[in-house]
Amino acid sequence: MKAYDIVIAGGAMAGATAALALDTLSGGRLRIAVVEAMVPNHGDHPGYDARSIALAEGSCAAFEQLGLWEALAPFGTPIQHIHVSDRGHAGQAHIDAQTQGVSYLGQVIELADAGAVLHQKLHARPAIDVFCPDAVIAIERKLDAVTVTLKQGQSLTASLLIAADGGRSPCSRLLHLPRQQHDFGQVAVIANVSTALPHQGHAFERFTDTGPVALLPMSQGRCSLVWCMTPDEAQPLTQVSDSVFLQRLQQVFGWRLGKLLHVGERHAYPLVLNQVVRPVSHRVAVVGNAAQSLHPIAGQGFNLGLRDVITLAQTVSAAFQRGQDIGAIPVLMDYASQRQPDRDTTVALTSGLVHLFSNQSALLAAARNAGLGLMSTIERVKQPLVQRTIGWVEPK
């Protein structure tokens, strides 16, 4: 049996970042094991698949403070402008980096590229051991330690287990942690699209009768598409020809980027709010999508998860430096209480936006378009959304 201070189940974005943050903030004095089921080969890893993520400016700054952004930056495409509109209505809002006094609002990065960078960093840290490919198949908690059994046969013991093993979170199931779910009744169709006009750093969020359509700027002149719709509408769209798919997308999105020219491989993901009731338990903390999987509207999911990871790393590292038991409930409750307001607000914001813009009530349509109109003319009305979009939320 190998002994560590911390075992992290899951080595995708949240798990890898947690390990690197803990290692950095503790000065390499914490012994950390990362258990990951799949090697992050480009496009094959479910946590690093064909999708891209929009890292808010605040998230990029957090990576920079950890000494990680320099390696990630070459793979990022800056978002300079965000355009929000409601199809069939006049209301719209704009968020501009220059107006907000930042060099960019965020950066779009392909998960596969981020995965390659972070795993290279993990293997370069002497205090981090990576068990990959492997998986946690059993968990035993005692008063002073937690022991995990791995699929390959090894047992690891630690003071703290961090579950960063994705939205389905096998660790949460093994521990019987209560979860709450809300099915949005939507599916996200994900693909990369090329356009006749250059995106020039513009990101678009367009609300339609069936759900939001987002196009985010990417490298090589491409855009990352997230198109939300009902399952009945999504199923045929994953099977039609590229030309038919682009024609239907053009009708919904419009011509702001000219003619839509090409579409890459399409993937469909059901959209469900899935969150643990409590993100901490005896010698266990749950982070990232394992803690909460959000609707992709407004691009808040990973940015919220990153703030969880940073706060957990800060709290645990500080407790370690004080000589405290890093897996004890008082330390974990300190972390959870710091994160609760941001978590509740972000979940409420994303869920509220989904229901507001998916409802075709004439009264609600008038209200939301009046709201978008106010955002376009009165800066203080727009600021709460701007703060979340840029990620200027204290990670504690």
R_g of the chain computed on alpha carbons: 21
Asked if the structure places residue 284 within a domain, the reply is yes
From residue 35, alpha-carbon distances to 9, 163, 318 in Å are: 5, 10, 24
Which pLDDT does position 367 carry in this prediction? 47
Name the DSSP letter for residue 290.
Answer: G
pLDDT at residue number 90? 46
Furthest CA-CA distance within the chain: 64
pTM for the full predicted model: 0.88
Per-residue pLDDT of the chain (396 residues; tens, 9 = 90+): 899 999 999 999 999 999 999 999 999 999 999 999 987 664 455 544 467 889 999 999 999 999 999 999 999 999 999 888 775 554 567 788 888 889 999 999 998 899 999 999 999 999 999 999 999 999 999 999 999 999 999 999 999 999 999 989 999 999 999 999 888 888 989 999 999 999 999 999 887 777 788 899 998 889 999 998 889 999 888 889 999 999 999 999 999 999 999 999 898 888 888 899 999 999 999 999 999 987 776 667 789 999 999 999 999 999 999 999 999 999 999 999 999 999 888 887 776 666 555 545 444 444 444 444 444 444 443 455 556 566 656 544
Predicted pLDDT of residue 34: 98
Cis peptide before 133 (omega within 30 of 0): yes
pLDDT in tens, 41-63: 644 555 444 678 899 999 999 99
Q: Which of 216, 354, 338 is nearest to 287 (CA)?
A: 338
Residues 293-307 pLDDT 10s:
877 766 677 899 999
pLDDT of 20 reads 98
Asked if residue 322 belongs to a domain, the reply is yes
Q: Confirm whether 216 is domain-assigned.
A: no
27: CB partners within 8 A, 6+ apart: none
Burial 265-275 (b: 16+ CB within 10 A, else e): ebebbebbbbb
Distance between alpha carbon 151 and the CA centroid of its chain, in Å?
A: 27
CATH of the domain at 17: 3.50.50.60
What pLDDT is attached to residue 118? 96
Q: Which of 156, 123, 122, 160 is nearest to 137 (CA)?
A: 156
Residue 380 lies inside a defined structural domain of this protein: no
Res 316: pLDDT: 98
What is the span of the domain harbouring residue 34? 2-77+107-180+273-359
pLDDT at position 358, please? 53
In a domain, 193, yes or no: no
Assess if residue 140 is contained within a domain.
Answer: yes
SS3 13: helix
User: What pLDDT is attached to residue 50?
Assistant: 60
> What are the strands, taking DSSP E only, across 112-217?
128-131, 136-141, 146-150, 155-158, 160-163, 179-195, 202-207, 212-217
pLDDT score for 374? 41
Q: Residue 99 domain-assigned?
A: no
Domain annotation covers residue 142: yes
**Per-residue pLDDT, 205:** 86
pLDDT for 368 equals 44
Q: How many domains does the chain have?
A: 1
- Give the SS3 label for residue 293: strand
